Amino acid sequence: MPPKEKPKEDYTLKVTSPDIGGRTVLGSDKLTLVEQRQFLYVRIVRANGLPVNNMTGTCDPFVELKIGNYKGITRCFEQTSNPEWNEVYAFTRDRLQGGRLEIMVRDKESAINEIIGCLSFDLGDTPTRFPPNSPLAPQWYKLEDRNGVKVAGELMLAAWIGNQADDAFSVAWHSDAAAVSGKSVTNIRSNVYLSPVLWYLRVQVIAAQDLTPSDKNRKPEAYIKAVLGNLVLRTTVSKDKNPNPTWNEEVMFVAAEPFDDHLILSVEDKMGANKEVCLGRSVIPLHQVEKRLMPQAIGAQWINLEKYVAEGEEKTEVKFASRLHLRIFLDGLYHVFDEPTYYSSDLRATSPKLWPEKIGVLELGILKAEGLLPTKSRDGRGTTDAYCVAKYGRKWVRTSTIVDSYAPKWNEQYCWDVYDPYTVVTVGVFDNCHLQAGDKNDGTSDPRLGKVRIRLSTLETGRIYTHSYPLLVLQPNGLKKMGELHLAVKFSCNNWINLFHTYSQPLLPMMHYLQPLSVYQLDSLRHQATYILSLRLGRADPPLRREVVEYMLDTGVNRWSLRRANANCERVMTCLSGIVVLWRQFDQIRHWKINSAITVLIYSLFVAMVMCPKLILTAFFLAPFVFGVWCFPKRPRHPPHMDTKLSHAETAQPDVLDEEFDSFPSSKQGEALKTRYDRLRGISGRLMIIIGDLATQLERIHALVSWRDSRATAMFLVFCLIACFLVHKVKFKYLVLVIGTYAMRPPRLRAGIPSIPQNFLRRLPAKTDSML
């Protein structure tokens, strides 16, 4: 029997019907896009007056919570009878098998079954608390032994039934992650992050004065070296080979608040190929640098340069200090790009004074995932510990990690303020590889499971979109579906006037158009911003690791990809196909190939428009209106998603993917590199021919009046003179009528050869003859 074909993966977007919007049931206004889940929350605050151990003379207490099959343990305090834990535990209510909550205070040095004291609560008596109600105040409870007799010591705690909108949800230890303990518990918690405020630090170096070179007999070749953090930028060597050089150049950095690093400016004397001598330097704290918040000029200033002293050398007093003339400021009039422009989630300037009015609110419900594939092995079997990260504007959110599940349920909801509809919210799914005790996995990256992008302008206001998005990852061995992510999205508008006004405003702040930065500058500054964000967010708790930040910010989007190049060419051809189809239809009509009645009708409309020119503009605007109304019933009902066919991801060859995932510079050698080079030469050769043909046609048009072919130019000029008198004597509408009638003449009046203008143009010379 022939082997069965592997079933084809389903990469389509699916509509779902989750049980959401139940706020009237539980009284929570925070959960309108997720399935509401109930938890038993227990907050262990502190203990007082615990007895000491008779054997050790000390007390090393910890608390153990048990309910059914679940058990939670607090951290242990050594040598104290009055410990303070302030820890929260969350038990999923629908998974609880027992009816009582048991809390036991133990001593680490005691026997296993020995307890200091315990408490027991019936779950049926536990109060219910849902936001926006105030938190439940903890109370003191006298400890008892196993027989219910009061013993020394008391414990302060609070227990209540709540949902995932509770303030304690993000900091609680969850029973679903019972296998995680110790310091790794913080890595499974949900959190909200704010990106630091990013500024463009602009250093405009004008000149230096009174430089003292180390060698008095040579003219200094001075340049400026600027250092901020780990980044070093340099100006060119000044053309003035004297102690007072000038540059009039600018270097730009990305700086983040709070400003941790100082800017170090130094004047270097280039002594040779790999040798330079510092002629003076200055350290500038960034918090002292002026901020430009409105479009106004920043004045230049002189700063003194300190003589650089190497280690082991004595510092000598300098009578006259060298000076540096510069203009330095933190520019808040630009938007600091940390994402590609077309995937950007925020387009505002750094300066809050230039922000537009808020137009609405974006609400995102991260419901669950299904069918996730294992990415690692634990206890001899595959497993996945998934969490989600969402980014919009400066706000990042991270859901809790669902341990050991191929179908995790998060049901967490977040919201953002919206200032521009032409923005994108990005949601990524990752596998948490930092849950084991110890630091075995510290060098391990969190594997990506897929990403979803949703552009707000494609969403109808006020509508809740519930869909299942395929999680697709392109790997060197091909496209892989890692599962499906269920989301609920809602874009609410609270100011329709501002929303419609936004469509008439520039996409970026004004300074991007008045004083634009070069493409190279923007690309370099974007990489600086990405590096800063990965450092800052990586220091949070739990951290957003570098590979997560870079994946969410699409740092590799500008990397060469033959697959993406083919897809972009196909996109262009698809957009132009409508024009091509219209021209073919018109060509068939004017050649009387479809139906004679249609040709006569089109010709009659043409004559009517020529005789009554007012109808031309009327038809010009009426046609798109009619076409748009005709397309309205066929409008897209769902937000766009990752299209594998458009991206050529399903049909990409292994060698193409291997090239796309190769490092830069390439790590390949030998035959593989030769094959890629030859393929690139073939593509470049075809592109060269297309550009050459275009240049030839443009040069032929220029040759009409350049007298390169004197006979052709003379003929063209005589034709223009005759046409000038003809157009002056004959009304314009009659000329158009004659031209249109000639273009739509019947087939019997046509000859199957090119027209006279085509023949004339093709005979004109071009500079192709001069090419080697």
- Using DSSP's 3-state secondary structure scheme, residue 273 falls into coil
Query: How much is the pLDDT for 364?
Result: 96
| Tokens 């998060």 sit on residue | 410
pLDDT in tens, 201-213: 999 999 999 888 8
DSSP string, 521-551: HHHHHHHHHHHHHHHHHTTSSS---HHHHHH
Angle, CA of 648, 650 and 652, to the nearest 5° = 65
Query: What is the average per-residue pLDDT within 606-612?
Result: 81
Contact 155, 47 (CB under 8 A): yes
Q: How many CA atoms lie within 13 A of 228 on its CB side?
A: 22
Confidence of residue 166 (pLDDT cuts 50, 70, 90): confident
| Tokens 């400026």 sit on residue | 224
pLDDT in tens, 235-256: 999 998 888 999 999 999 999 9
d(CA 542, CA 450) in angstroms, rounded, equals: 21
DSSP string, 409-432: EEEEEEEEEES-SS-EEEEEEEE-
Query: How much is the pLDDT for 9?
Result: 79
User: Comparing C-alpha atoms, which of 434, 400, 367, 346 is closest to residue 192?
Assistant: 400
Reading the block at residue 529, the tokens are 């911003």
Residue type, 546: R
Contact 404, 344 (CB under 8 A): no
Convert 355-415 into a string of H (helix), E (strand) and C (coil): CCCCCEEEEEEEEEEECCCCCEEECCEEECCEEEEEEECCEEEECCCECCCCCCEEEEEEE
Query: What is the average per-residue pLDDT within 506-517?
Result: 93
Query: How much is the pLDDT for 310?
Result: 55
Query: How much is the pLDDT for 31?
Result: 72
User: Comparing C-alpha atoms, which of 471, 353, 346 is closest to residue 419?
Assistant: 346
Q: E strand or H helix at 154, and its extent?
A: strand 150-163
Query: What is the average per-residue pLDDT within 675-690?
Result: 81
d(CA 458, CA 461) in angstroms, rounded, equals: 9
pLDDT in tens, 402-457: 988 999 999 999 999 999 999 999 999 999 988 875 444 456 889 999 999 999 99
Residues of the chain with pLDDT > 70: what percent? Answer: 94
User: Comparing C-alpha atoms, which of 400, 399, 390 is closest to residue 362?
Assistant: 390
pLDDT in tens, 83-116: 999 999 998 888 787 788 999 998 887 766 578 8
Convert 56-71 into a string of H (helix), E (strand) and C (coil): CCCCCEEEEEEECCEE
pLDDT in tens, 517-574: 999 999 999 999 999 999 999 998 889 999 999 999 998 887 888 888 888 888 888 8
Poorest-confidence range of 359-363, 444-448, 543-547, 618-622? 618-622
Query: How much is the pLDDT for 201?
Result: 96
How many residues are there in the chain? 772
User: Comparing C-alpha atoms, which of 334, 329, 338, 328 is closest to residue 354?
Assistant: 334
Tell me the Cα Rg of the chain. Answer: 36
Query: How much is the pLDDT for 273?
Result: 75
Query: How much is the pLDDT for 483?
Result: 95
The yes-or-no verdict on residue 277 having pLDDT over 70 is yes
Instruction: Convert 550-589 to b/e letters by CB count within 10 Å (16 or more is b).
Output: bbbbbbeeeeebbbbebbeeeeeeeeeeeeeeeeeeeeeb
d(CA 13, CA 641) in angstroms, rounded, equals: 7
What does pLDDT average to over the chain? Answer: 86
In terms of pLDDT, which residue wins out, 311 or 350? 350
Confidence of residue 631 (pLDDT cuts 50, 70, 90): confident
Reading the block at residue 317, the tokens are 């007093």
pLDDT in tens, 715-758: 989 988 988 888 788 887 788 888 888 878 787 777 767 778 88
Poorest-confidence range of 211-215, 280-284, 346-350, 507-511? 211-215
Whole-model pTM: value is: 0.84
Query: How much is the pLDDT for 438?
Result: 46
